[in-house]
Amino acid sequence: MTPAVRIVFCLFCAAFAAAAQEFNWNVFGDQKPDRPAVQEPAAVLQEKQSLHEPLSWRYPDPPAEEEPQFPPDFELKAPTAADSVSAVCGENSVRVEAKKDLLGIGKPVRAEDITLGGCPASGEDQEAQVLVFESELHGCGSELLMSEDSFVYVFTLLYTPSPLGDSPIVRTRDVTVNIQCHYQRKHDVSSGLLKPTWTPFSDVKATEENLYFSLRLMTDDWQFPRPSTQFLLGDMMKFEVSVKQFHHTPLRVTVDSCVATIVPNIDTVPRYSFLGNNGCLFDSQLTGSSSKFLSRSQDDRLQFELEAFRFQQDDSGLIYITCSLRATAATAAVDSANKACSFSNGWSEASGSHHACSCCDTDCGTGSQLTGSQWEQETAVGPIIVKERPLR
């Protein structure tokens, strides 16, 4: 290439390069290395980072619970009691009928999950879907209550749901229904009946031998029967045992044994024998509790305190207390067979005859060694409900 041509070509390259550089700067002007970046005003940035609604809570306090929002005209359905249990009280027995739809939710319960004081159903009406329970007045864990003018036999219909299939869950709750049969103690003689003016000797002796035992929960001051059977763990449950006597020599009442269960049947498990050996209250010795007999003030009345508890791995908190009560002549000696002993750094007896408690750590014998006139009865209280004490 001649020198003249080289000069023209170089001039053309230089002009083209200058034009290209100018084009790039015009199109991509914000990429010039010597031009500073455009900054947005500080107020704009602050607006992007701020919250229009301030927080309603501050860490570490938890957020406040929101009120539930319901649709217009929405009403919560109030549960209604299911009319599913009826009873007929006879002269010597009671008949209880329970619908298999016990809870009134359209789903039948299992017959084996319902008992009357631990007694299973004696029959079933398949067409009406009704379970039938029948019992003598003194059977199926009944409790006898007395007033001046009436006898009241109290039965408990208990429903305890079994787990569903092979799962450990239930979808219904325990149900307890109290059934009462009232009987007048004083009867008016109608004009259509004539009664002899004399009373046969056999009737007089039968009246003399009628004794009525009672086991009941009392208020903290021991003045009245406790209106509620609900306790918290650690509460002291106060029990009073008494015997009513009619035309009878003075009697002394004692408690031979007591068993706690979760159903009104002492032959079930779990069970806790906290009193036995003819009047030895073991609970304080076994668990370190404050359970004890109170000092006896009357021969026909005996009081003891039991610290409330629940059975392990049982969420119901239900407890039935069944005790074997006995009455003997008040003139009988307080001995190993007739005593009320508590443990607190040693054994002591409620009436002060502490020597009678010397066998509590061994064997005080059986009822066969008891002598003289005596009357016995098994009496139960329940269901008692023991709940966990709330954390403060």
pLDDT in tens, 158-174: 888 877 566 564 556 67
Domain presence at residue 46: no
Domain count, the chain: 2
Half-sphere exposure in the Cβ direction for 2 (13 Å, CA): 3
Residues 48-70 have a mean pLDDT of 60
Distances (CA, A) of 334 to 143, 357, 358: 28, 10, 12
* Domain shared by 322 and 370, yes or no: yes
* Domain shared by 229 and 276, yes or no: yes
* Domain shared by 245 and 385, yes or no: yes
Residues 58-69 have a mean pLDDT of 63
Residues 260-272 have a mean pLDDT of 86
CATH number, domain at 128? 2.60.40.3210
Q: Which of 51-55, 69-73, 150-154, 310-314 has the highest mean pLDDT?
A: 150-154
371-390 tens-digit pLDDT = 444 588 888 898 888 887 67
* Domain shared by 261 and 156, yes or no: no
Percent over 70 (pLDDT), the chain: 65
CATH number, domain at 274? 2.60.40.4100
What is the spatial distance between Cα 146 and Cα 136, in angstroms, rounded to a whole number? 18
Domain presence at residue 88: yes
Between 57 and 169, where is the model more confident? Answer: 57
b/e map of 152-178 (b: 16 or more CB within 10 Å)?
ebbbbbbbbbeeeeeeeeeebebbebe
* Domain shared by 174 and 119, yes or no: yes
Domain presence at residue 25: no
Q: What single-letter DSSP state applies at residue 319?
A: E
Between 345 and 365, where is the model more confident? Answer: 345
* Domain shared by 336 and 239, yes or no: yes
> Could you tell me which of 372, 375, 371, 366 has the C-alpha nearest to residue 327?
375
Give the pLDDT confidence score for residue 167 in this predicted structure.
57
Confidence check: pLDDT of 200 > 60: no
Confidence check: pLDDT of 197 > 50: no
Q: Which of 186, 218, 236 is the last residue of a domain?
A: 186
What is the spatial distance between Cα 367 and Cα 326, in angstroms, rounded to a whole number? 11
- Residue 347, both tokens: 């054994």
ω before 227 within 30° of 0 (cis)?
no
Between 195 and 151, where is the model more confident? Answer: 151
Q: Which of 186, 216, 234 is the last residue of a domain?
A: 186
Confidence check: pLDDT of 50 > 80: no
In contact, 213 and 302? CB cutoff 8 Å: no
Domain presence at residue 29: no
Distances (CA, A) of 18 to 15, 21, 27: 5, 5, 15
Residues 47-59 have a mean pLDDT of 57
Give the pLDDT confidence score for residue 133 in this predicted structure.
93
Question: Residue 240's beta-bridge partner residues?
Answer: 216, 303
Domain presence at residue 279: yes
* Domain shared by 325 and 375, yes or no: yes
Q: How confident is the model at residue 366 (pLDDT cuts 50, 70, 90)?
A: low
Domain presence at residue 76: no
Domain presence at residue 236: yes
Range of the domain at 109: 83-186
* Domain shared by 125 and 237, yes or no: no
Question: What's at 256, amino acid-wise?
Answer: D
* Domain shared by 253 and 390, yes or no: yes
Give the pLDDT confidence score for residue 340 in this predicted structure.
92
121-131 tens-digit pLDDT = 999 888 888 99
* Domain shared by 213 and 180, yes or no: no
Answering whether pTM is above 0.85, one says no
* Domain shared by 171 and 257, yes or no: no
Q: Which of 157, 186, 215 is the last residue of a domain?
A: 186
Domain presence at residue 42: no
308-361 tens-digit pLDDT = 888 877 878 888 999 999 888 888 888 888 899 999 889 999 999 899 999 998
> Could you tell me which of 251, 276, 280 has the C-alpha nearest to residue 340?
280
* Domain shared by 236 and 168, yes or no: no
